[in-house]
Structure 1
């Protein structure tokens, strides 16, 4: 997958070039092309913003340098803008991009936002939550990370992204490693039993429990299997008895 990023601050994307994503970048599992759209300005001071028509506080990013930067790309793929009015990014969106797109182009805003005509160049407008950040770089990095790690060969264990939180509409079950007993805090016996059927059932139950306690909204429209419904009833009974 090739990812283009139009940004005023390309240095901010250094974290994507370390750890697993960095190794995958070196191995050409994906490609990152950072484009500073300030380089496409025409005035001597390289202005990328101006005061808004109609008055008001702040500065608005101009369409011209962004359009020229976008036109400079050999190809664009899906063009994405991060903005508060966009649809909320989630794991399903990351999975869709990883499965269906060979190229993504992100346009990062700054200051008081874009000239409205910039949005007409985007295929999708996406938000990572209901809060305000200084610019679009951090949301873009989050979305790139979530998407690229799903590409084949990026993670060492191909089963990892399948079992993680949100992949099946549930939060992840608890994980443990050595030692089995640390200062009286013990690993559940079932995980050391070697009974893979029981382990799978325990993991599903604990994923349901974790989701019910921490993100019950994720269960509201879920189509439960017979096993999930049985386990959820057990969990609710256990929680009621703890009160």
Structure 2
């Protein structure tokens, strides 16, 4: 059964990006179903308005509750998944959340716009998430990378689970350096260990590089990461070598 994701948005055309590349192929294979639903189709306003001025005054417009709520109710008839709003009050999205969402069979995302949504809409929202502490022009811009990160770890979307389990953040570390042909480029040679054919030594080298890169570039991640006995040994050995 395909994993189903419905996106409630004012700009469904923005999600045509999912017709291409890896996610597009997954849709063709029936692994994941992604539907963009136009909130504007559910407004009762004869001019198709979905926003209005905020009570109490202030700059900008606020998305009205009625079209969003009616859209959620309509989508819920065929999708019983959690309703997730992309908004600034939410918990910051990360790889752990992506893994959790990838286990869900159905999900519903709401993309906000303007100065936000009418507070009464939250009655129909299960969870709010944010892409980070910065401002975007709309929830669509946050929704695209979030859905992409979820879909790519759904079984069958990538050719091998190794494609994502070795990537940055999946296991709490940044990814090790990658090289491809030619062996020499601008007088820089690929590290000799990678051409040795010794798979265990390569694995240990890559693990050590992930540890060192994370410690240097993202000490916040490194300090939270629980080192294994092997990790500690690899780091001890590199200190001994450097002395």
TM-score range, shorter chain: over 0.9
C-alpha offsets along residues 23-69 of structure 1, whole Å, 9 cap, x if unaligned? 11111110011110111111221110011111111110011001111
Query: Do structure 1's residue 12 and structure 2's residue 38 form an aligned pair?
Result: no
**Other-structure match for 1:26:** 28
1:87 is matched with which residue: 91, 95, 105?
A: 91
Which residue matches 2:138?
Answer: 135
Q: Aligned to 1:77, which of 76, 81, 90? A: 81
The runs of at least 4 aligned residues of structure 1 exceeding 2 Å deviation read 230-239
In the alignment, which residue of structure 1 is the partner of 2:57?
55
Give per-residue Cα distances to partners, 1:155-214, cap 9 Å, x unaligned: 123311111111110000001111111221111111111111110110000001110111
Question: What residue ranges of structure 1 are gaps of 5+ in the alignment?
Answer: none
**Compared with structure 1, are the counterparts of its residues 219 and 236 closer, same or farther at alpha carbon in structure 2 (3 Å cutoff)?**
farther
SS at match of 2:40: helix
Give the alignment's Cα RMSD to 1 decimal: 1.5
**TM-score of the superposed pair, with normalisation by structure 2:** 0.94
Matches within 5 A, 1:60-209: 60-73=62-75, 74-99=78-103, 101-209=104-212
How many pairs are equivalent?
239
Compared CA separation, residues 236 and 139, structure 1 to 2 (3 A) = farther
Question: TM-score, length-normalised on structure 1?
Answer: 0.94
| CA spacing shift, 1:9–1:50, aligned 2, 3 Å | same
